[in-house]
Amino acid sequence: MSHINPCQTCGACCAHYQISLYPDESNAYPGGTVPVEYTVTLNDHSLCMKGTNLYPPRCAALEGEVGKQVSCSIYDNRPNTCREFNVYELDGSPNTRCFKLRGLTPPATIQP
């Protein structure tokens, strides 16, 4: 059985949502990791990933064809918003936003 992460072929979230982050997540600040050249300033308190401030949104760090094969060119340095958006929530329940973006019905949550 293949255990390919659907995020490596999907990319729908990277081409659907505005990906916001705090300025101190950019590498313009000590400890920040997101390359500042991939960000756009929204206001004094937030940035977004370049490309996600446009319509249709598409993150500048997204490489490949959505729905076929994609990757994030800054995966190890991606913002917290991206790190926290997963196929499944921390409790194991399906992330309904992810499944809907992929045109799928979320599976039933299995109770322990």
Task: Spell out the per-residue pLDDT of the chain, length 112, in tens.
Answer: 456 678 888 999 999 999 999 999 999 999 999 999 999 999 999 999 999 999 999 999 999 999 899 999 999 999 999 999 988 888 888 899 999 998 888 887 655 5
Q: Is 64 helix (H, G, I), strand (E, B) or coil?
A: strand
Asked if the structure places residue 53 within a domain, the reply is yes
Asked if the structure places residue 65 within a domain, the reply is yes
Contact 21, 46 (CB under 8 A): yes
Domain residues for the domain of 19 are 6-101
Asked if the structure places residue 93 within a domain, the reply is yes
Asked if the structure places residue 72 within a domain, the reply is yes
- Total number of domains constituting the chain: 1
Q: Give the per-residue pLDDT at 2.
A: 54
The DSSP symbol for 56 reads S
Q: Which pTM value belongs to this model?
A: 0.85
Asked if the structure places residue 69 within a domain, the reply is yes
Asked if the structure places residue 47 within a domain, the reply is yes
The DSSP symbol for 31 reads T
Asked if the structure places residue 37 within a domain, the reply is yes
